[in-house]
Structure 1
Amino acid sequence: MDTLLLIKSVIMGIVEGLTEFLPVSSTGHLILTGSLLGLHDEKSKVFDVAIQTGAIFAVILVYWQRLRDTAAGIFSEARSQRFALNVLVGFLPAAVIGVVAYKAIKAHLFNPLVVAGAFIVGALIILMVERRKNPVVRIQTVDDMSVVDALKVGLVQCLGMIPGTSRSGATIIGGMLLGLSRKAATDFSFFLAIPTLIGAGAYSMFKARALLSMADLPLFTVGLISSFLSAWLCVRWLLRYIATHSFVAFAWYRIAFGIVVLVTAYTGVVVWAD
């Protein structure tokens, strides 16, 4: 295996892990990083989706006790059953729309104007949400959520399929608009990520199975491990950060990144089309 290619896979894994759960769009960052590293082919696109699984393992580790308790009480405890049902209901919209609209999204939405626009519009929405006076918070924890609340957040999550929007940004900020506390919205975003990203990775790998071989295993393994480690650090940091900070800093970062997308597209440095 080419050592340089392994180093590139580590870099891509780190970028994925650091951006997957922040409201800044991991897809946009992976497109930029991949273009700068010369990773443009179809296999690289499958790699980008597959390494999300490493980031999900980090969430599973951070929330292991809650997930274990839910699994243990799934047949006997109303709290565990309600939690599992909410995650399932929240996941279903993305599963259905993802399968139905996958090709259309790839064909029509991967262009610099969409990516940059999504970054900037998302930033403006974050600023609007964070600057509300006396927002109504109905739901303090994920255990306070109803099935309807979960469905609403799941529908909002589908906006994350637009490149540059950010799945985590859509679910966290959308959840806050729907009356969830910052902590509840962030926690539920992480829980929704488990089935959503594992499903997306498995679906992408299945569709591209003809492109892959055992020779790709070291490359994917290194990417998964680096994604896991960086995501684990990022998730732990974010949970501490939101206890005392808003998401305003991420909004300004999104605006700056949107400008970067436009500049790199205009100059031809990055190929933003799929």
Structure 2
Amino acid sequence: MEKRRVALTLGAMILLTYSPLTIGSQGLSGDHSVAVEQKILTTTQAVVLGLVEGLTEYLPVSSTGHLLLAEKILGIGEDPDQSPAQREQTKEAADAYTICIQAGAILAVLWLYFGRVKQILRGVAGRDLAGRRLLFNVLAGFLPAVFLGLLFNKVIKTYLFGPWPVVVAWLVGGLAILAVSRRNRTQSPGKRPGHQLDDMTWRMALIIGVAQCIAMWPGVSRSLVTIVGGLLVGLTMEAAVEFSFLLGVVTLGAATAYDILKHGHLMLQTFDHVSLIVGVVVAFLAAVLSIKWMVRYLSRHGLAIFGYYRVLIAAATTILLATQLI
């Protein structure tokens, strides 16, 4: 069974990375008049982006913010030898790629929470009432993101996908975590009373889904707002984290599929196939390690460490931007 899971996971990585991009290259993804002749994403850059994605996707520190910063540090889309149109295309392809390598992080959750996935599948088949209820709750949490994402996707990418909006989100989110942690410092977060995942109602899930929409601002962190939302509606820390992961599979999966279909041709035109696959595989491995560490850490500690980290990285990025070092 373990070998079969390994084979299925590796096969899914390749299919998620290669097949949809091939479909996109056949015309589903829009026409781009500017061609980039050279495959400019190196394997090293793909590894870096994969590591950043996998390590930060499920931590309450914002993977999108870290990926945007990593792109800037790596100089992706800022090659002076390219024309302005080529640089713009490269940046657009890189932004799409940082969304598509989420496939690795998605597969990490499916791997680690395979029992929950089977429960949901049994629920679909009508053999597990709790699994069917969990599926409905995940879908209820996903609906607000669908509505607002389709409505404001272009505005968000135009005005918020930049270093300064990310810095503001990091700082505000960090201060909010520290404020909440200080208020609850006498209570052990791993032992808070509350509902388990099987006790959730669709209304609780919907509230968490509304909270998730705040994370459309890069730097806020989807994991942060969904975990906090889960705690606010009465879930235990363990249940809030697990629901955040499961909701992320659907939300990130939809965003990944959308960008692959829309920008698949552009990514193939700009980046090398091998680099695309390497990023997904590295993201998977890094996400497995990150999730395991996070679950163990939050079972004994609170979120305060992430608040301090967000404030520090906001300050450091501000200095780097102000001094034009990046």
Which one of 83, 92, 104 corresponds to residue 155 of structure 2?
A: 104
Alignment of 1:110-259 (within 5 A): 110-133=161-184, 139-213=194-268, 216-259=272-315
Select which of 73, 77, 88 maps to 2:123. Answer: 73
Partner of 2:64: 27
Per-residue deviation, 1:164: 0.8
- Is residue 48 of structure 1 aligned with residue 98 of structure 2? yes
5+ residue gaps, structure 1: none
Quickly say closer, same or farther: Cα 1:185–1:82, change in 2 above 3 A.
Answer: same
In structure 2, C-alpha distance between the alignment counterparts of 1:219 and 1:111, rounded to whole Å: 24
Counterparts of 2:267 and 2:165, CA distance in 1: 30
Secondary structure, aligned partner of 1:238: helix
Measure the CA separation in 2 of the matches of 1:269 and 1:227. 27
Asked which structure has the greater CA Rg, the reply is: 2
List alignment gaps of at least 5 residues for structure 2: 1-37, 78-90
Deviates more, 1:40-49 or 1:51-60: 40-49
**C-alpha RMSD over aligned residues:** 2.1
For residue 113 of structure 1, report the CA deviation from its aligned partner.
3.4
2:109 aligned with 1:59, yes or no?
yes
Contact kept in structure 2, 1:115 and 1:261, CA below 8 Å: no
- In the alignment, is the contact (CA less than 8 A) between 1:87 and 1:191 conserved in 2? yes
Structure 1 counterpart SS, 2:272: helix
Where do residues 7-18 of structure 1 align in structure 2 (5 Å cutoff)? 7-18=44-55
> Secondary structure of the residue that 1:110 maps to in structure 2?
coil
Rounded to whole Å, the distance in 2 between the matches of 1:268 and 1:3 is 24
Deviation of the 1:212 alpha carbon: 3.3
Is the 8 Å Cα contact of residues 137 and 181 (structure 1) preserved in structure 2? yes
Aligned partner letter, 1:7: T
From 73, 76, 84, give the equivalent of 1:36. Answer: 73
Task: Check the 8 A contact 2:68/2:162 in 1, yes or no.
Answer: no
- Aligned counterparts of 1:162 and 1:2: Cα–Cα separation in 2: 30
Give the Å deviation of 1:111. Answer: 3.5
Q: TM-score, normalized by length of structure 1?
A: 0.92
Q: TM-score, normalised by structure 2?
A: 0.78
Deviation at 1:213, TM superposition (A): 2.9
Alpha-carbon distance, 1:239 to partner: 1.0
Deviates more, 1:195-204 or 1:32-41: 32-41
CA distance in 1, matches of 2:227, 2:210: 12
Please state how far the C-alpha of 1:77 moved relative to its aligned partner: 2.5
Count of aligned residue pairs for this structure pair: 270
One-letter amino acid matched to 2:302: S
CA–CA separation in structure 2 for the residues paired with 1:46 and 1:151: 28
Aligned to 2:27: none
CA distance in 1, matches of 2:150, 2:41: 34
